[in-house]
Amino acid sequence: MRFIPTVLYRVLDYLLGLVLIVLPFGFGTRSPALITLIALGSFAIVYSLFTDYELGAVRFLWVRFHLAPDTVFGIVMIFIPTAFDLPGAIAWPVYFIGFFAILLAAITKIRATGTAS
């Protein structure tokens, strides 16, 4: 069942990207995992800018296709704490963001054509 409107999804998409960029600075470390989080957050914002929805700047990528990288993004986020052996204080927010990204991709409304609804 898809019930989240795309405008809300997009706000959350940009917000998650910003959280990932800021998160490493909040923990005051520069490990490869946290640099990876900054890169993933930046990537999430950039491909959101190219998506055909209410807050897209270029509107090139259909929402239907945007949801696939968001799902992969969520899966990668879930594996980052284990792959980089992150401590619990850093790992739990990363797990949450990963599960949240997958959930949002699964419940966001899309039209049959793939464009924003």
Are 63 and 114 contacting, i.e. CB atoms less than 8 angstroms apart?
A: yes
The pLDDT value recorded for residue 114 is 43
Distances (CA, A) of 91 to 9, 20, 37, 77: 24, 12, 11, 10
Q: What does DSSP assign to residue 108? A: B
Instruction: Report yes or no on 57 lying in a domain.
Output: yes
Instruction: Report yes or no on 113 lying in a domain.
Output: no
Instruction: Report yes or no on 59 lying in a domain.
Output: yes
Per-residue buried b or exposed e for 10-28, using 16+ beta carbons within 10 Å of the residue's own CB = beebbebbebbbebbeeee
The pLDDT value recorded for residue 83 is 92
The pLDDT value recorded for residue 32 is 86
The pLDDT value recorded for residue 53 is 65
Residue 108's DSSP bridge partners are 4
Residue-by-residue pLDDT tens, the chain, 117 positions: 777 777 787 788 889 999 999 988 877 666 788 888 899 999 888 887 887 666 666 766 666 676 788 899 999 999 999 998 888 888 899 999 999 999 988 888 775 444 444
Distances (CA, A) of 65 to 53, 70, 74, 116: 12, 9, 15, 11
Instruction: Report yes or no on 13 lying in a domain.
Output: yes
Domain that holds residue 71: 6-107
Q: How many domains does the chain have?
A: 1
How far apart (Å, rounded) are the C-alpha atoms in residues 73 and 6?
18
Instruction: Report yes or no on 114 lying in a domain.
Output: no
The pLDDT value recorded for residue 110 is 74
The pLDDT value recorded for residue 74 is 93
The pLDDT value recorded for residue 111 is 59
Token duo for residue 81: 């704490």
